[in-house]
Structure 1
Amino acid sequence: MTDGERTGISRRTVLRASGTAAAVPILGANRTSADETAAPAPSPALPGDCPDATVEPSMTHCEGTTTEGCADDHPATTELQSAVRETLAETYPTVGALLDAGFKPYFDTLDVTEENGYAHWLSPEFIGDETVLDPERPESVLVDTGSWRAIGVMFIATHDGEAVEPMAVYDDSEGRCSPWHAHTGLPGRFAWWYYQHVYEGTDDIEFSLPCRTPCMLHVWAVDHPEGVYAHDAPPDSARDREPAADAGFETDADPGADELGWEVLPDAVTPDRLPDEIPLLN
């Protein structure tokens, strides 16, 4: 789920999670492969039954999806982006509005070496319902951590919290547009595991990550140079906006002056165990 999935993570993190000699014991010991080179044993980060899973950030297209027919000026795209912009402006104008609506914050971890500068806010209600690709019910809102403003949404293809096959944005005489992707790299798989265990109320902490996330699709509200459905984060130049005038909740931090992160949020919405406190990463 972290959208630094094309962004590198540090060698220290790779060694921690891959089961090499520098990793903690819980992640598995080395084994010797057929060519007598050391290979990581199956571990929570790289389960043996997940051949596509990687420690490095990575993604894959979902079955039946394609970006070849996607166009920013297609009526379906302009309608969807306009509806997303309206929802963000009218329903979620502040971080406080997201908190009031029950969205849960997730700030990327795993020593990402190039900061994306935005965070995912996830809605258990919308992830748990039966709607998909509804601009009024986005499963995740993407918030710039500098300006504290929403810059887009991430739709997640789930019904009742379980992954489902996603629908196309459009499929007509002009082409098929279905730009869904799933994360197979450690940062994204860990983020989805963390959401399920911490925010969906699962008390037992098992160190077995999913092989991949559900299918996901970005719609950027800002003018992204790579397009409305681009996977990577928009550059700073595309996010050159005035900071939010109000945080929308009681805090000593100021949008634009202070970075939006765990430390500025109310204690009531901060999880007891933050991502970097999970033993899997220590």
Structure 2
Amino acid sequence: MNDSDGYRSVSRRTLLRTSIGTATVSTVGVGQASATERVSIDGFGGECPDATLEPSMGHCVDGGMDGCVDDHPATVELQAAVQETLEERYPDVGTLVDAGYKPYFDTLDRDADGWSHWINPEYVGDESVVDPERPESVLVDNETWRSLGVMFIAAQDGEEIEPPAVYGEDDSEDRCSPWHYHAGLPGRFAWWYYRQAYERDFETGDVSLPCRTPCMLHVWTVDHPEGVHAHDGPPQEFRDGEPADDPGFETGAEPGTDELDWDALPEDLVPEQRPDELAALIPGL
């Protein structure tokens, strides 16, 4: 199946055939591992000593959050620029679809709390890293279908890069570098799914599950009790905006009444295989 932007959907049969030829999966001990135990999935990313079965994350820079304050001029400027972009260009899901963003719902996250990521493959891995006009991902409320903030991704040409600080010099006490990565299996699988479904990694034989995601940076444009760069989404009471006026695409679902999920999307926006159908390829999911 082809979507409107020429991204052919990933086939589970093709992925399975490719993975059988290139990877041997070891499931020994996986069923008994807990959220705090270290697990290794051989053949799908090699040795991953920091990986966990349950959702988990880590800071890309030790102490990177220590110097962060929401009223710092650099943070205020960045948040204002992001808010301007969302208000003028990407206020809701319909505008994201028109701009080439792809659905990347929080795959198999057992703590999902009503918001989702939408990712633009054109912006992931380009030369810009923290560009408010070209956010790699936009964070959307699944009830109102409106944008809540963005997520920048520190990657270029498919490779993880050192993330830049929001402000402050290296080793300075006021340095703010609140980038995080996901080492839990659901987050790693979600990034793997994006790479297979939209970047077509399997076509070159790359079906390995990464040990962790690239570094990511949230910038929320709604009030958040944990700050502008909080990892988790804002509580529901902080998302009191009006629902989007129109879905922006053909659907029987309605913003404010129906939850934004795979079933609400038109067929040409849904990959041939949804994440839960490909999860069978990954031991532990």
Q: TM-score w.r.t. structure 1 length?
A: 0.81
Structure 1 equivalent of residue 281 of structure 2: 280
How many aligned positions are there? Answer: 249
Contact 2:40 2:48 (8 Å CA) reproduced: no
Query: What are the Cα deviations for residues 8-56 of structure 1, in whole angstroms up to 9, with x where unaligned?
Result: xxxxxxxxxxxxxxxxx9652349xxxxxxx9774467x5511111111
Q: Distance in 1 between matches of 2:185 and 2:41?
A: 14
Query: What pairs up with 1:78-97 in 2 under 5 angstroms?
Result: 78-97=76-95
Q: Find out whether 1:224 has 2:224 as its counterpart.
A: yes
CA–CA separation in structure 2 for the residues paired with 1:185 and 1:252: 35
Identify the residue that residue 259 of structure 2 maps to in structure 1. Answer: 259
Determine the C-alpha separation between the residues in 2 that align with 1:152 and 1:79.
Answer: 14
Q: Which residue of 2 aligns with 1:104?
A: 102
- C-alpha spacing 1:92/1:42, structure 2 compared with 1 (3 Å): closer
| C-alpha spacing 1:78/1:56, structure 2 compared with 1 (3 Å) | same
CA distance in 2, matches of 1:63, 1:82: 24
RMSD: 2.3
- Identity rate of aligned residues, in percent? 61
Q: Would the aligned equivalents of 1:29 and 1:41 in 2 still touch at CA under 8 Å? A: no
1:168 aligns with 2:162: no
Where structure 1 has 5 or more consecutive residues not aligned to the other structure, the ranges are: 1-24, 32-38
SS at match of 2:117: strand
* Contact 2:61/2:178, CA 8 A, preserved across alignment: no
54-63 or 135-144, larger mean C-alpha shift: 54-63
CA distance in 1, matches of 2:29, 2:121: 38
Structure 1 residue aligned with 2:67, among 60, 66, 69?
Answer: 69
Alpha-carbon distance in structure 2 between the residues aligned to 1:254 and 1:78: 34
Tell me how far apart the structure 2 counterparts of residues 202 and 277 of structure 1 sit (CA, whole Å).
Answer: 18
Change (3 A) 1:219 1:30: closer
8 A Cα contact 1:207 1:280, kept in partner: no
Which residue identity does 1:87 align to in structure 2? T
Q: CA offsets, 1:119-177, max 9 Å, x none?
A: 10001111031101111110100000000000010000011232100100011688111
Change (3 A) 1:30 1:79: closer
CA separation of 1:249 and 1:65: change in aligned 2, threshold 3 A: farther
1:65 Cα deviation from its structure 2 partner: 5.9
- Which position in structure 2 is the counterpart of 1:36? none
- Give the 3-state SS of the residue equivalent to 2:51 in structure 1: coil
Q: What does residue range 1-282 of structure 1 map to in structure 2 within 5 Å? A: 28-30=27-29, 42-43=41-42, 49-63=47-61, 66-110=64-108, 112-171=109-168, 175-204=174-203, 208-278=208-278, 279-280=280-281
